[in-house]
Amino acid sequence: MTLHARVQTQLGSLHLDCDVSVDSNVTVAVLGPNGAGKTTLLRVIAGLAPVATGRVEVDGVVFEDTESRAWLAPEARRVGFVFQDHGLFPHLSVLDNVAFGLRARGMNRDTAATKAHEWLERVDLGRYANSRPSALSGGQSQRAALARVLVTDPQALLLDEPLAAVDASGRLELRRALREHLATFSGVRLLVTHDPLEAASLAERVIVLEEGHVTQEGLFSEVSARPRSAWIARMAGLNLLRGAVSGDQIRLEDGSSLTVATDVAGPALATIQPRAVALYRQAPEGSPRNVVRCKVAGVDPEGDRWRIRLDGPFPLVAEVTPAAAAELRLADGGEVLAVVKATEIDVYSM
């Protein structure tokens, strides 16, 4: 089974223009900052949001095709949508919530109740069958919402920020439980999140969506090691530079150059780990090749590493020990020299 969605649409100031393919049996996370169009993409797939042009197809069933004017109503698409707020019906018992989709598709009351009960047991909510959703905790209501869509045996499972409505203390356990439940579903699994940790722990593949466009996709480890946008780099905690390589020099967009050790030639991206940036007040001994004159723009103490934001020809973040920061009086600001070894710069083509 596969889901294929090619979507172009304008929603307020957002122009969503993306082409996404998801195979079944692999959990895929659409990762991106708030307002990137992630939820809109899910809503388009479910038939809840209109598209200007595009085509949505799941396992050969055309949900929407603006070219042939094909359109399936949301209720006719076999899509399980777990909403960010879980969307449980407050006026129905937990059991009736889970049975709702079965009843809506014509199953008789008793059979639907029996099946719903089975699923409630499966997600460990059997004893809440007759409770109202308001009696459930965040994690429980999420499991109820998941059971409610899985009981209808959908072709695709869509989850919008699955852990957003759950308080932080319970997330660790929930993430594990959710991953296990997801693994039992063999159809297309697509979730949307702004949290890299969630994407990394729940999904095998990530699709990075920024301002309506896919900027990168692949395994989480690949994406975070070699980011292709400033947002992913920041999320992965890396400095990202953009430029063109010739020989052992990368010429950056601002005109400055750094010495690198790479076989790549032409337009390229380069990342530098913040801890690979060494800071000095006076020119260091020896003759390091990459010395960048910067101003301290900010100091963010984070445990035993302090993150130092630098303003120079290009913005840079360095990580130093609190002791080093104190010795260099970085909190006073002023000018510093940032030194990076050529071998610490990871260069890859654009």
Partner 1 sequence: MTRGVTRRPLIGLVIPAAVAVLFIALPLVGLLAHVDWSNLPSELVSTDVLTALRLSLECSAIAVVIALVIGVPLAYLLARTSLPGRRVFRGLVTLPLVLPPVVGGIALQTAFGTTTPIGTVLQHLGIVLPFSTAGAAIAEAFVGFPFLVITVEAGLRQRDDHLEEVAATLGARPWRRFWQVTMPLAAPSIAAGAALCWARALGEFGATITFAGSFPGTTETLPIAAYSSFEGSGQVGEAITLSLLLLAISILVLVVLRDRWLGALR
The site for partner 1 (CB under 8 A) is made up of: 46-48, 73-77, 79-81, 83, 85, 87, 89-91, 100-101, 104-105, 148-149, 152
For residues 70 and 60, the answer to whether their CB atoms sit within 8 Å is: no
Nearer to partner 1, 149 or 207 (CB): 149
Unique residue bearing structure tokens 């957002």: 14
CA 27 to chain centre: 12
Exposure class string for 248-269: b at 16+ Cβ within 10 A, else e: eebebeeebbbbbebebeeebb
- 255 vs 144: CA distance, rounded Å: 56
Nearer to partner 1, 81 or 128 (CB): 81
Least distance between partner 1 and beta carbon 202 (Å): 21
Nearer to partner 1, 4 or 148 (CB): 148
Least distance between partner 1 and beta carbon 346 (Å): 43
Least distance between partner 1 and beta carbon 38 (Å): 17
Least distance between partner 1 and beta carbon 103 (Å): 8
How many helices (H) and strands (E) are present in the chain, helices listed first?
9, 21
Instruction: Provide the 8-state DSSP code for 261.
Output: -
Nearer to partner 1, 90 or 266 (CB): 90
Least distance between partner 1 and beta carbon 265 (Å): 50
Nearer to partner 1, 181 or 305 (CB): 181
CA 262 to chain centre: 30
- 121 vs 127: CA distance, rounded Å: 8
3-state secondary structure of 99: helix
Least distance between partner 1 and beta carbon 4 (Å): 19
Nearer to partner 1, 75 or 173 (CB): 75
**Residue 104: which residues within 8 A CB-CB, separation 6 or more?**
75
